[in-house]
Structure 1
Amino acid sequence: MPTMTTADPSYRSRAPWWFNLAGHLLEPWVRLRREPAEPASLLQGDAPVCYVIERDGFSDALILERACRAAGLPSPMQPLPFTRRRRSVFALARRDGWLFGRNRKRSPQDPFGQLVRALEGFPDRDIQIVPVSIYVGRAPTRESGWFSVLFSENWVVVGRFRRMLAVLLNGRDTVVHFSAPVSLRAVLSEETELRPERFARKMARVMRTHFRRIRAAVIGPDLSHRRTVVDAVLNAEPVRAAITTTAARENITYAKSWERAHKMMMEIAADYSHPIVRSASFLLRNFWNKLYDGITMHHFDKARAAAPGYEVVYVPSHRSHADYLLLSYQLHASGVVVPHIAAGVNLNLPLIGPILRRCGAFFLRRSFKGNALYSVVFNEYVAQLIDRGVPMEYFIEGGRSRTGRLLAPRAGMLVMTVRAFLRAPRRPVLFQPVYIGYEKLMEGKSYIGELSGKPKEKESLVGLIRGLGVLRQRYGHVALNFGEPIELTPLLDAASSSWRETTGDPNTKPEWLSSVVDQLAEKIQVNINRAADVNPINLLALALLSTPKHAMAENDLLAQLDLFKALLEELPYSERMTLTPLTPSAIIAYGEQMNWITRVRHPLGDVLTLEGEQAVLLSYFRNNVLHLTAAAAWVACCFLNNRRMSRASVLRLGRIIYPFIQGELFLPWDAEGFGAQLQSTIDFFVRRGLLEAVGEARVLERGPGQDDGAYRLGVIARSLIQAFERYYITIAALAKNGPHAITAAELENVCTLTAQRLSLLSESLSPEFFDKALFRGFIQKLRERRVIWTDANGKLDYDSALEDMVRDARVILAREMRHAILKITGSEEKESSRNAAGAEQASAAPEQSLESPEPMNTSEELHERHVIAEHHEHERASADHPKE
């Protein structure tokens, strides 16, 4: 919005000389911005105009007079026709005192009563009432000082002295908001039954509500008084019932039970303070400049355009403690209301906790189990925030990801949000996913320790002070990508056409609620991943971590980076994914600058390598974007240990494995969509010369092992191969124990120990290889697919589908890795007998090609074998009769 200062030359001010003199003295200190830019277009007809401002003040009158002069509007200082009023402006509230001021409301009969009486008996008269909101210092600029932040606009009614300081310090950022005029005659004709006194009181209430709504849109909801929210929660019917139940169950007085609930609320509730938020923003600006080289936001304009009219819930990925501050700071700096953030009670530290609380953080315990009163109090607090239209932010992963992948969602906060909306669906809810991408993490080394088995260090003020040393480092760039927003109402409509009939009951929990929440959680994680930012560190991690010694010749690394960039550009994962514009050579230079990679000089060509624990740290950033190359990695995996394979086999095996990698990486496609993505990826590899399509494009073939194309395919494949190795560990351990012999928890423990043992024997495995959560997710997906199930005794049972998965794994995994897994799990004897049986069959049958070691028992598979056999025959004929 441009600044508007040009005066209308035809404007005639009726103000006294001393008022005009004060306006000239104030003019250098104030720069106005009108909303809308041309408010004169809002006026209707020639009826006299009366301005209504929210709060009384000399500076507000001066600002209004100047804004009207610049916009060509009637002067607020002229007498109002038909009335005895000497001015065409009045305020709903006055200030008393010079320093702090108290809000004293006028009697409604004063202004509105006079206007109503002026129209009585004169049906041809009318007055246009124009509400005007004036905000001084909405958002201090980069050059603003500390006092400018303290005296910026907020909900607190201040005295004349503080208002004067606010104008002097922040007057150059003044907004004058003109609302559409209200015809007093039209309103009177609609309220013919009301007496003039009651009508005047109603008009005053309507105006106060209007000003509160405008102020909430500009500077956020009024939650500066924590006590009002606490009282509202404790007086809510569900909380009072829970207090009574607790008192009866524990045989204590109601007063003591109420005190317990009050203590819980004081532990939970935010104490939002606009001055503190602005002060924190002022401090964080310098902090981010010292810590990061830049913070960028992508697709924020789309997110801002979608938000009006919705209760917005920000649901970002959670990778660092900096996530809380980064998103709130960027939203505030962009002129958007800072959300209330759900934070773990472990962050409620001395000194730090109160600051976070005043910046909008509300605290929750890790578990509500066994504490019904706390659960009811917290649920009611969330419901109050939603009912008041307060934007919120929480992390559905439940905690920070130690591996770089998105964690399986925990639906607690989502359930509370959905139930709060069902209880009072006044404003539709919009979930805004946000992907947060880093180039280096402050918590990197602690994550490695936790993945290696060390207990998580408890947050403390001493630990925070001890960790300030990390602030001496630089952490590169940070990206905040706003994903596709998700509306709650369409999900509810799809689940039940009668969901609106369940509203109003705070205890409502319909049968379809769990499925809606699960769909919502899955969609949030998918949309976060769809908004991924691919930075130079991600690409270096994808390439270097897929080599045995985490080292590559510079020419090979340049080619591999170029291949990854081409893949992501030609087959974009989604329209909201962003990719670094740096060239491969610039990416390498940047990695060296960030001290991620080391250059080893050599006469035959430089080598880029990772030293020490850099490889382990870098695995975090590979996992950030692993989902983007999942389809390409699967196709490449099929040729890791096979020279040739039919296109149909690649697609068939891909459809089998897809549900499991989809659950682990939150991929966006259905089965058909993934098949189409595989087809496009195969075509891409053929265009790039990494695969050759033969036999009427039904057979795919890679070059020999020493070929450059085969090498690059292998690098892509190894980014995902560890997932298949984990899957093989699970099914091998289950097969070794047999049906009805082991529970899901016991299988999870066995798999974790096996993976830990295997990682000790292999230097190339990353720390998340033995992450228990990944095994838990795979076991759960096997149960969902009915590959395994729980019997009456809680033990796991399975059928022949598990044997099929073992057979398919032989196509992908190398013989050495399979034997190592089988040896640790104790399944080697069973595999040896299976191989012996296979050898006997092979001696009585023609040799099968490498790409199809599984038995051929369908017409489709027989056709695939026939196509490959024809190709082999053609190769032999070409070898016998070479071309001239």
Structure 2
Amino acid sequence: MRRRAPPLTRLLCALLRPWLRLRLQPAEPRTLVGEDDGRPTVYVLERYGLSDTLILDEAAAAAGLPAPYSAADTLPIRRRRSVIYLSRRPRWFGRPQHPTRSETLAHLFAHVAQTPGADVRLVPVSIFVGRAPDRQSGWFSVLFSENWVVVGRFRRLLALLLNGRDTIVQFAAPVSLRQLVDEAGGEASERSVRKLSRVLRVHFNRIRAAVIGPDLSHRRTVVNAVLNAEPVREAIAATASKEGLPAAKAHKRARDFAMEIAADYSHPVVRSMSFLLNGFWNKLYGGVKMHHFESLRASVPGHEVIYVPCHRSHIDYLLLSWLLYRNGLSVPHIAAGVNLNLPVLGALLRRGGAFFLRRTFRGNALYSTVFREYLGQLFARGVPLEYFIEGGRSRTGRLLAPRAGMLSMTLSSFLAQSRRPVLFQPVYIGYEKLMEGKEYAGELSGRPKQKESWLGLLRATKVLRQHYGQVAVSFGEPVYLAELLDEVAPQWRQSPVDPDDKPEWAGPAVDALAERILVNINRSADVNPVNLLALALLSTPNHAMAESDLVAQLDLAKRLLVELPYSDRVTVTALDPAAIIAYGEKMQWIERVAHPLGDVLRCGDEQAVLLSYFRNNVQHLFAAAAWVACCFLNNRRMARSTLVRLGRLVHPFIRSELFLAWDEQAFGERIEATLDFFARHDLLEVDEDGRIMSRGPGQSDTAYRLRGIAHSLLQAFERYYIALAALVKNGPHSLTAGELENLCYLTAQRLSLLHEVNAPEFFDKSLFRGFIQKLRERRVVWTDENGKLDFDGALEEVARDARVILSREIRHGILKLTQDMRARLGEGQPAGEPPVAAKPAAE
């Protein structure tokens, strides 16, 4: 039974209660602290304060934990409450006192050491007042939000009155004092008590850093530290010598670079931005869903955290920072392109934690050195970071090939001056409608990218009048840098720490790190209704399906995701097929056409182009199923072993493009499991020996379902065949990699015009570039002494295998186009631009 607090304390609690609204972390602290097992419970607070004690009493009651007074009579402590304070709060107008050893902790330590069988469980509790404002917050309350300053009683009272409704109480796992005494040899020495105090202070510092961010100095202090670093001083001297500049002028240039780069983080500005964004998200979105956040919260303390989200919209910056802040974690410093450093906006972003970098450092050694040192200073101070390793926003909905620059600099900083283990946190962000959707489609169709400007931002305000559905933010499995280096480069701990001496293993390690991050982003995908509608409707020539067929196709896709889960972090919409269709109509992605023989659901050409983005978000989840279904597009019967063998051959190219979680063997096993799934659901039949798989006639419902699944991957195989056909038709020693890439791009673009392919990424140059690179890595092709691509007869065999997947019409069309394009280019047709304008997306 909970022991009641003294009457005066109960009265103060009653007076304080209307001003408090507590958020407990975790939401059910008893699952972390455990049930009352008879041991006295003593709470540990970071600082002394009556208000903190009252808040603790309220929080313990709300969590069903022992009251802070329950164990006081059974323990040798002088206070009426069983609470340990690591430091005292200053008097009303006094200065902070220096932390001292807690007498209560010393008494408890001695009691356990001298009493056989006695034990006390210590429960550390962190309290933050004014951490997450909501729409009821006032602007004045921003001035009294939680920070690193040890404030007096009067300021704490104002903070409670203004921000008490935004109070976070975070419980930690209990610590057994008996275990600590036994580890100290059973003696209550002064040294043991001081050591325990230091450990508790470190714990509270870690939690405070995780919740409100590290204790940052003024921007000028960080800039001065950068300029005084040895590598920067050497770079300044080298620049002055090389360009014949006075030392002062070279130093000023370095300072200008540092001021251009550096963030100017401000707690009040961050809190004000959170206040503003509450209404912004409510206006634009129908909700923000968050998955697997608790696993992140448990990992953050004690780690240098680097958030690495996929990059799909400018909204990504604001959304992730807002979510972290609202849920009690520190806002990271974000690497932003210098194109966003606009007047006024750039200053605001800086105070929100943004630091700016140029698109390229090439040819500017001084800027590169300053930026690297600034990143190292953030690292040394334990500042959480966020950057996008794709380098820019994805225009296709797929993850882009990684750019290793920031990862490489992070690795160098870790080796040189990191004091804590580094954790990369992959983040999947899924939208149901994009603000930049039409802009992306236009860019892929040939329109130039619009440069960021205030005029462009003002023109874009019209998008704020639309509704964009829900957003999902899913935190993937973290990547621990030290563990990955142990796998990839076991010798890394013995490497010399020299930023100018890049070890041989660094390049492969960075590549492995980038791939692991992107794979883990994909492994945490959230499948929303728009993803499933896009997958189904875009598989038909006219982007229309009878309602009964659409219901069946949506049901099949959901069954695939549930019965053959891609990973334990993939989440799938709870809506049934009928509700998914209704939601698509509500979001105006699809329209219903009434008909006496049954309604038809369809999307227009413009919507189809935009929906391809959302199909591509989840394409990797259906890769194995799509491969199997593709094999039955032009074949009624196939041997099970052939399906697996050909799947393993194509696996490296699919994995490279879609960042699949499976290696070659796992992909083969996935194909086997998919064949069993299709057989269970009567989409394929198995002969008596279990060796031959067959599908129904081409006009049957089962064949129709398989075609719907196959289409999501079919265009990838068409792209592969375009490259292979171009190589084979032109022969070895004929094309460079660049010429092949351009020839493939033009062929695919013309093919899309002839066959009305409503998927702009079909002729995306980067996809062809990645495929050609993978061919070279696999030694299917190689470069001769003249820079031309060479290959042997094995490539022709690979090209012949395409007949398993592609129809004769498509294969002949590609062969004719590759031959005609080569002839046209040979006659002097400009290679850099297509001979026919690309079909633009409708506006």
Match of residue 733 from structure 1: 726
- Aligned residues of 1:544 and 1:551 also touching (Cα < 8 A): yes
- Aligned residues of 1:482 and 1:531 also touching (Cα < 8 A): yes
In structure 2, what is the Cα distance between the partners aligned to 1:650 and 1:330? Answer: 44
Q: Which amino acid aligns with 1:239?
A: V
Q: Say if 1:62 and 1:737 are closer, same or farther in 2 by CA, change over 3 A.
A: closer
Q: 1:336-361: per-residue Cα shift (whole Å, max 9, x none)?
A: 11111111111112222222211111
Q: Which amino acid aligns with 1:736?
A: K
Match of residue 445 from structure 1: 438
In structure 2, what is the Cα distance between the partners aligned to 1:632 and 1:177? Answer: 45
Query: Which residue, 223, 235, 240 being the options, matches 1:230?
Result: 223
Q: Which amino acid aligns with 1:692?
A: E
- Aligned residues of 1:493 and 1:499 also touching (Cα < 8 A): yes
- Tell whether 2:336 aligns with 1:350: no
- Tell whether 2:560 aligns with 1:567: yes
Q: Say if 1:141 and 1:640 are closer, same or farther in 2 by CA, change over 3 A.
A: same
- Tell whether 2:269 aligns with 1:283: no
Match of residue 616 from structure 1: 609
- Aligned residues of 1:732 and 1:827 also touching (Cα < 8 A): no
Question: Any idea what SS the aligned residue of 2:605 has?
Answer: coil
Match of residue 686 from structure 2: 693
Q: Say if 1:65 and 1:699 are closer, same or farther in 2 by CA, change over 3 A.
A: closer
Query: Which residue, 753, 764, 777 being the options, matches 1:760?
Result: 753
Question: TM-score by structure 1 length?
Answer: 0.80
Match of residue 154 from structure 1: 147
Q: Say if 1:573 and 1:190 are closer, same or farther in 2 by CA, change over 3 A.
A: closer
- Tell whether 2:743 aligns with 1:746: no
Q: Say if 1:506 and 1:104 are closer, same or farther in 2 by CA, change over 3 A.
A: farther
Q: Say if 1:709 and 1:237 are closer, same or farther in 2 by CA, change over 3 A.
A: same
Query: Which residue, 295, 305, 310 being the options, matches 1:312?
Result: 305
Q: 1:36-81: per-residue Cα shift (whole Å, max 9, x none)?
A: 999xx9xx99xxx9x99869x9978998999999723999xxxx99
- Tell whether 2:524 aligns with 1:531: yes
What runs of 5+ residues in structure 1 fail to find an aligned partner?
Answer: 14-19, 82-87, 98-102, 116-128, 192-198, 831-884
In structure 1, what is the Cα distance between the partners aligned to 2:437 and 2:491? Answer: 48
Question: Any idea what SS the aligned residue of 1:719 has?
Answer: helix
Q: Note the 1:765-780 alignment, pairs <5 A.
A: 765-780=758-773
- Aligned residues of 1:5 and 1:32 also touching (Cα < 8 A): no
Query: Which residue, 5, 8, 22 being the options, matches 2:5?
Result: 8
The structural deviation recorded for 1:822 is 1.4
Q: Note the 1:644-655 alignment, pairs <5 A.
A: 644-655=637-648
In structure 2, what is the Cα distance between the partners aligned to 1:178 and 1:296? Answer: 24
Q: Say if 1:240 and 1:706 are closer, same or farther in 2 by CA, change over 3 A.
A: same
- Aligned residues of 1:224 and 1:271 also touching (Cα < 8 A): no
In structure 1, what is the Cα distance between the partners aligned to 2:57 and 2:814? Answer: 82
Q: 1:803-837: per-residue Cα shift (whole Å, max 9, x none)?
A: 0121111221111111111111117999xxxxxxx
In structure 2, what is the Cα distance between the partners aligned to 1:478 and 1:317? Answer: 14
The structural deviation recorded for 1:422 is 1.3
Q: Which amino acid aligns with 1:635?
A: V
Q: Say if 1:664 and 1:203 are closer, same or farther in 2 by CA, change over 3 A.
A: closer
The structural deviation recorded for 1:721 is 0.9
Question: Any idea what SS the aligned residue of 1:484 has?
Answer: coil
Q: Which moved more, 1:545-554 or 1:238-247?
A: 238-247
- Aligned residues of 2:547 and 2:600 also touching (Cα < 8 A): yes
The structural deviation recorded for 1:305 is 2.1
Query: Which residue, 415, 418, 426 being the options, matches 2:411?
Result: 418
Q: Note the 1:355-374 alignment, pairs <5 A.
A: 355-374=348-367
Q: 1:724-779: per-residue Cα shift (whole Å, max 9, x none)?
A: 11111111222233222221111111111111111111113411010000000000
Query: Which residue, 505, 514, 521 being the options, matches 1:521?
Result: 514
- Aligned residues of 2:236 and 2:254 also touching (Cα < 8 A): yes
Q: Which amino acid aligns with 1:461?
A: W
What runs of 5+ residues in structure 2 fail to find an aligned partner?
Answer: 61-65, 79-83, 105-121, 182-186, 824-843
In structure 1, what is the Cα distance between the partners aligned to 2:577 and 2:480? Answer: 39
Q: Say if 1:306 and 1:262 are closer, same or farther in 2 by CA, change over 3 A.
A: same
Query: Which residue, 425, 449, 473 being the options, matches 2:466?
Result: 473
Question: Any idea what SS the aligned residue of 2:394 has?
Answer: coil
- Aligned residues of 2:605 and 2:758 also touching (Cα < 8 A): no
- Aligned residues of 2:291 and 2:474 also touching (Cα < 8 A): yes
- Tell whether 2:676 aligns with 1:679: no
Q: Which moved more, 1:300-309 or 1:315-324?
A: 300-309
Q: Say if 1:695 and 1:799 are closer, same or farther in 2 by CA, change over 3 A.
A: farther
Match of residue 582 from structure 2: 589
Match of residue 340 from structure 1: 333
Q: Which amino acid aligns with 2:732?
A: P
Q: Which amino acid aligns with 1:368?
A: F
Question: Any idea what SS the aligned residue of 2:752 has?
Answer: helix
Question: Any idea what SS the aligned residue of 1:651 has?
Answer: helix
- Aligned residues of 2:533 and 2:584 also touching (Cα < 8 A): yes
In structure 2, what is the Cα distance between the partners aligned to 1:464 and 1:64? Answer: 47
Q: How many percent of aligned residue pairs carry the same amino acid?
A: 65
- Aligned residues of 2:585 and 2:591 also touching (Cα < 8 A): yes
Report how many residues are paired: 782
Query: Which residue, 547, 553, 565 being the options, matches 1:554?
Result: 547
In structure 1, what is the Cα distance between the partners aligned to 2:571 and 2:560? Answer: 13
Match of residue 712 from structure 2: 719
Match of residue 251 from structure 1: 244
Higher-Rg structure is: 1
Match of residue 17 from structure 1: none
Query: Which residue, 785, 789, 794 being the options, matches 2:782?
Result: 789
Q: Which amino acid aligns with 2:795?
A: L
In structure 2, what is the Cα distance between the partners aligned to 1:74 and 1:738? Answer: 85
- Tell whether 2:71 aligns with 1:71: no
In structure 2, what is the Cα distance between the partners aligned to 1:574 and 1:468? Answer: 39
Q: Which amino acid aligns with 2:668?
A: G
The structural deviation recorded for 1:301 is 1.4
Match of residue 111 from structure 2: none
In structure 1, what is the Cα distance between the partners aligned to 2:354 and 2:159? Answer: 27
- Aligned residues of 1:736 and 1:827 also touching (Cα < 8 A): no
Q: 1:622-676: per-residue Cα shift (whole Å, max 9, x none)?
A: 1111111111111111111122222222122111111111111111111111111
- Aligned residues of 1:224 and 1:274 also touching (Cα < 8 A): no
In structure 1, what is the Cα distance between the partners aligned to 2:647 and 2:24? Answer: 59
- Aligned residues of 2:168 and 2:328 also touching (Cα < 8 A): no
In structure 2, what is the Cα distance between the partners aligned to 1:222 and 1:612? Answer: 53
Match of residue 877 from structure 1: none
In structure 2, what is the Cα distance between the partners aligned to 1:539 and 1:70? Answer: 50
In structure 1, what is the Cα distance between the partners aligned to 2:637 and 2:102? Answer: 90
- Aligned residues of 1:150 and 1:279 also touching (Cα < 8 A): no
- Aligned residues of 2:96 and 2:150 also touching (Cα < 8 A): no
In structure 2, what is the Cα distance between the partners aligned to 1:808 and 1:112? Answer: 76
In structure 2, what is the Cα distance between the partners aligned to 1:153 and 1:70? Answer: 25
Match of residue 100 from structure 1: none
In structure 2, what is the Cα distance between the partners aligned to 1:361 and 1:143? Answer: 27
In structure 2, what is the Cα distance between the partners aligned to 1:442 and 1:587? Answer: 22
Question: Any idea what SS the aligned residue of 2:140 has?
Answer: helix
Match of residue 380 from structure 2: 387
Question: Any idea what SS the aligned residue of 1:642 has?
Answer: coil
- Tell whether 2:623 aligns with 1:630: yes
In structure 2, what is the Cα distance between the partners aligned to 1:611 and 1:32? Answer: 49
Query: Which residue, 633, 636, 640 being the options, matches 2:633?
Result: 640
Q: Which moved more, 1:601-610 or 1:730-739?
A: 730-739
The alignment's C-alpha RMSD in Å is: 4.1
